[in-house]
């Protein structure tokens, strides 16, 4: 590896990008909707950027490799705090943020729509990775005339620095809630989800009322930079992990030098439904010893028993490794739709039985040790 220090970015150039030895296998695919927000040039002024590009060219010539950019972030005061910020803005006094961008991030064959949304909070609603914001959609609550809508929670999908690396934005991964009449199979827009549609339809410059931040369950424990983190997501449950992974692999944070293992399991319908896949593939290439990435594509892959491939089937495939990791202190996280948990719990119990272990006891120990983190909705 060769390293180049620029005034604002640290650039590492890896040798050997052959992914054929990768432990995790997934189908290649192409999606035309990319989130390029991680591009390091975002934090550079033009002069620095040009110098960096020139230098990068020289380095690439000498080692014939792509660069591995880590973005230097200016530590926010938040790095020194012992506790995460909580409920700075309550529903009665929400903060009015501004929409920066709304981007559809799934391909045409994905069932449903998922958007990556960046909002500008001006540094007024600071948060830690794994927390959520509340959003109050505009309009009146139909159940309480004269009152605003109830708050809807959304996991934050960026690090505390935001996709802009300046601590002034937060990102969300929002799935548009659409209602189909079970009898006719036709969409009924009058019953579509209020907040998710408001967010996915919004335009840059629109105002959005936010509350929070909230949540402590999904915070990333940083006391041991060599720890193992097993992250299990279905759909938009990927949001907190995108934040963790950017903190681990994309940002150069002086107070957190991750050198452990992050293992991501993502369950979605098909390859067009993959979320932030470009970012994750880049980490695989750049940090093959620190990142693993496994996919369960329910409509494209078959499980061992010949059924649809769900995330619990992938967990079962690697259960020996996962159990060993848990026994040596790994953290395990679950995020996404509520419906994911029963199947996963069943699989974990089955594996424990096969290993002659008592799952209930193991689970209560994991909870006691604060290794078990669940946020499903």
Number of residues that bind ligand FAD (CB under 6 A): 22
d(Cα 326, Cα 334) in Å, to the nearest integer?
A: 14
Is 177 a binding residue for ligand FAD by CB under 6 A? The answer is yes
d(Cα 251, Cα 235) in Å, to the nearest integer?
A: 24
Q: Which of 127, 133, 154, 333 is catalytic?
A: 154
Query: Between 226 and 255, how does the x/- string for binding to ligand FAD read (CB under 6 A)?
Result: ----------x--x----------------
Residues 99-138 that bind ligand FAD (CB under 6 A): 132
d(Cα 297, Cα 309) in Å, to the nearest integer?
A: 6
Burial class (CB in 10 A: 0-12, 13-18, 19+), 341: middle
Nearer to ligand FAD, 129 or 313 (CB): 129
Q: Near ligand FAD by CB under 6 A, which window of 98-106, 193-201, 341-349, 351-359?
A: 193-201
Nearer to ligand FAD, 69 or 134 (CB): 134
| Angstrom distances, CA of residue 348 to CA of 182, 265, 308, 362 | 33, 15, 18, 10
**Cβ(162)–Cβ(169) below 8 Å:** yes
Is 195 an annotated catalytic residue? no
Q: Which residue is nearest to ligand FAD (CB)?
A: 193
Joined together, the tokens standing for residue 234 give: 């279905």
Q: Which of 37, 67, 155, 319 is catalytic?
A: 155
Is 180 a binding residue for ligand FAD by CB under 6 A? The answer is no
Is 154 an annotated catalytic residue? yes
Residues 40-69 that bind ligand FAD (CB under 6 A): none
Q: Near ligand FAD by CB under 6 A, which window of 59-67, 187-195, 243-251, 274-282?
A: 187-195
Residue ranges that bind ligand FAD, judged by CB under 6 A? 132, 152-155, 172-175, 177, 179, 191-197, 236, 239, 375, 377
Catalytic residues: 154-155, 335, 375, 377
Q: Which amino acids are annotated as binding site, given as ranges? A: 155, 175, 236, 298-299, 308, 336-337, 375
């Amino acid at each position: 590896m060769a390293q180049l220090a620029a005034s604002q970015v640290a650039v590492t150039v890896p040798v050997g990008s052959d992914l054929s030895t990768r432990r995790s296998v997934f189908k290649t695919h192409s999606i035309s909707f990319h989130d390029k927000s991680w591009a390091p040039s975002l934090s550079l002024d033009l002069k620095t950027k040009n110098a960096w590009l020139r230098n990068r060219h020289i380095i690439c010539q000498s080692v014939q490799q792509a660069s591995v950019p880590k973005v230097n972030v200016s530590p926010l005061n938040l790095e020194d705090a012992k506790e995460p910020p909580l409920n700075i803005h309550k529903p009665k006094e929400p903060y009015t943020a501004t929409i920066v961008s709304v981007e559809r991030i799934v391909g045409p064959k994905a069932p449903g729509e998922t958007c990556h949304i960046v909002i500008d909070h001006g540094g007024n609603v600071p948060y830690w990775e794994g927390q959520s914001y509340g959003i109050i959609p505009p309009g009146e609550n139909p159940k309480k005339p004269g009152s605003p809508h109830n708050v809807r929670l959304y996991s934050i999908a960026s690090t505390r620095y935001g996709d802009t690396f300046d601590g002034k934005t937060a990102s969300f991964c929002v799935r548009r809630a659409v209602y189909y009449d079970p009898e006719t199979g036709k969409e009924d827009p009058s019953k579509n989800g209020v907040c998710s549609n408001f967010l996915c339809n919004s335009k840059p410059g629109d105002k959005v009322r936010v509350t929070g931040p909230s949540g402590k369950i999904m915070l990333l424990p940083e006391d041991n930079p060599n720890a193992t983190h097993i992250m299990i997501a279905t759909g938009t449950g990927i949001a907190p992990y995108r934040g963790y992974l950017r903190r681990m692999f994309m940002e150069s944070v002086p107070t957190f030098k991750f050198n452990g293992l992050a293992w991501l399991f993502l369950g979605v319908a098909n390859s067009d439904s993959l979320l932030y896949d470009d970012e994750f593939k880049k980490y695989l290439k750049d940090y093959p010893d620190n990142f693993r990435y496994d996919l369960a594509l329910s409509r494209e892959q078959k499980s061992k028993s010949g059924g649809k491939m769900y995330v619990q089937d992938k967990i079962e495939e690697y259960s020996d490794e996962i159990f060993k990791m848990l026994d040596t202190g790994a953290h395990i996280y679950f995020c996404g739709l509520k419906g994911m948990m029963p199947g996963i719990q069943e699989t974990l119990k089955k594996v424990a039985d096969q290993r002659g272990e008592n799952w209930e006891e193991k689970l209560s120990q994991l909870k006691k040790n604060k290794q078990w983190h669940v946020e499903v909705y």
